[in-house]
Amino acid sequence: MTTNNNTYHVPVMLHECLEGLNIHPDGVYVDVTFGGGGHSRAIFERLSPKGKLIVFDQDPDAQRNAWEAPNFHFIPANFSFLKNYLRVLGIPQVDGILADLGVSSHQFDAASRGFSIRTNDTLDMRMNQQGELSAKEVVNTYTEEELIKILRKYGEVDYPGKIAGTICRARSKSKLKTTGDLIDVLATIAPKFKEHKFYAQVFQAIRMEVNGEIDVLEKFLLQTTEVIKPEGRLVVMSYHSLEDRLVKNFMKRGNLDGSIEKDFYGNVLKPFTEVTRKPVSPNEEEIERNSRARSAKLRIAARNNG
pLDDT at 73: 97
Q: The whole model's pTM is what?
A: 0.89
At 182, which helix (H) or strand (E)?
helix 179-187
Is residue 235 within 8 A of residue 98, CB to CB? The reply is yes
Dist. CA 33–CA 78, nearest whole Å: 9
List % helix, strand, coil for the chain (3-state, nearest 5).
Answer: 40, 15, 45
Please tell me whether residues 27 and 90 are part of one structural domain: yes
Looking at the domain assignment, is residue 60 inside a domain?
yes
Mean pLDDT of 209-226: 95
Task: From residue 11, give the alpha-carbon distance in Å to each of 15, 66, 103, 190.
Answer: 10, 15, 12, 32
Residues 203, 225, single domain; the answer is no
Closest C-alpha among 77, 64, 49, 145 to residue 110: 64
- Whether 177 is in a domain gets the answer yes
When pLDDT is cut at 50, 70 and 90, the band that residue 3 belongs to is very low
Let me know if residue 120 belongs to a domain: no
pLDDT band at 263; cut points 50, 70, 90: confident
Question: Whole-number mean pLDDT of the chain?
Answer: 91
My answer on whether 90 and 238 are in the same domain is yes
How many domains is the chain partitioned into structurally? 2
Last residue of a domain, one of 186, 210, 234: 210
Residues 233, 98 share a domain = yes
pLDDT recorded at residue 282: 94
Shared-domain flag, residues 225 and 147: no
**Residue 197 scores a pLDDT above 70:** yes
> Does residue 200 form part of some domain?
yes
For position 30, which CATH number holds? 3.40.50.150
- Compare 202 and 107 and report the one with higher pLDDT: 202
Residue 262: DSSP 8-state = B
**Which of 59-63, 129-133, 152-156 is most confident?**
152-156
Cα 44 from chain centroid? 21
Query: Given a cut of 80, is residue 207 above it in pLDDT?
Result: yes
**Confidence label for 4 from pLDDT (cuts 50, 70 and 90):** very low
pLDDT on residue 107? 54
> Is the pLDDT reported for residue 306 higher than 80?
no
Burial environment of residue 195 by CB neighbours within 10 A (0 to 12, 13 to 18, 19 or more): middle
For 139-192, write each residue's pLDDT tens digit: 999 999 999 999 999 998 999 999 999 999 999 999 999 999 999 999 999 999
How much is the pLDDT for 183? Answer: 96
pLDDT confidence of residue 117: 80
CATH of the domain at 155: 1.10.150.170
Positions of E strands within the chain: 28-31, 52-56, 72-75, 94-100, 228-238, 272-274, 297-303
**Same-domain status, 188 and 218:** no
Structure-model confidence comparison of residues 167 and 59, the more confident one:
167
Phi, psi of 253 (to 5 degrees): -115, -20
Q: Which residue has the higher pLDDT, 3 or 302?
A: 302
Percent of all residues in the chain with a pLDDT value above 70, rounded to a whole number: 93
Which residue range forms the structural domain that includes residue 162? 129-210
